[in-house]
């Protein structure tokens, strides 16, 4: 589906594959979800999903080896880049909304 350009459907299927076994991820969905989330415009999902892997506090040095056996998804370079793109897109969207509100207010003031 990704090759055909159906990014949103491919994104939903990748989420489905991930939900089958999220801990071991035998299908490699983590490696595609970052790209598919950006291409399908699911910026808020990507940001909220990456927050699941954010450290709660600075006690990571105190964790045992068994707890650190799996690398967090956000440590992958693709996820870091996708998160930056999502933050930029969210910021652009917020700026666009502010501009539209400013334009609306200026039109209303011009009518008065």
Q: Which pTM does this prediction carry?
A: 0.67
- Residue 61 in contact with residue 103, Cβ under 8 Å? no
Per residue in 45-71, pLDDT tens? 998 888 887 665 544 544 444 444 455
Which parts of the chain register pLDDT below 70? 54-72, 74, 98, 101, 108, 112
pLDDT at 40: 93
Return the domain boundaries, the chain. 7-54+69-111
pLDDT score recorded for residue 8: 92
pLDDT of 68: 45
State the sign of the Cα–Cα–Cα–Cα dihedral 54, 75, 89, 20.
negative
Could you tell me how many helices (H) and strands (E) the chain has, helices first?
A: 4, 0
**What pLDDT is attached to residue 58?**
47
Phi-psi region of 57 (alpha: psi -120 to 50; beta: other; left: phi over 0): beta
Helix H or strand E segment including 31: helix 30-39
SS3 content of the chain, % helix, strand, coil (to 5): 65, 0, 35
């Amino acid at each position: 589906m990704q090759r055909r350009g159906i990014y949103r459907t491919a994104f939903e299927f990748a989420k489905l594959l991930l939900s089958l076994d999220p801990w071991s991820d035998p299908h490699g969905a983590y490696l595609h979800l970052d790209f598919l989330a950006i291409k399908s415009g699911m910026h808020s999902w990507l940001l909220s999903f990456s927050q699941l892997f954010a450290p709660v506090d600075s006690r990571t040095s105190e964790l045992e080896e068994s707890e650190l056996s799996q690398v967090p998804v956000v440590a992958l370079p693709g996820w870091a880049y996708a998160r930056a793109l999502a933050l930029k897109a969210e910021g652009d969207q917020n700026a666009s909304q502010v501009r539209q509100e400013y334009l609306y207010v200026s039109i209303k003031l011009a009518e008065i």
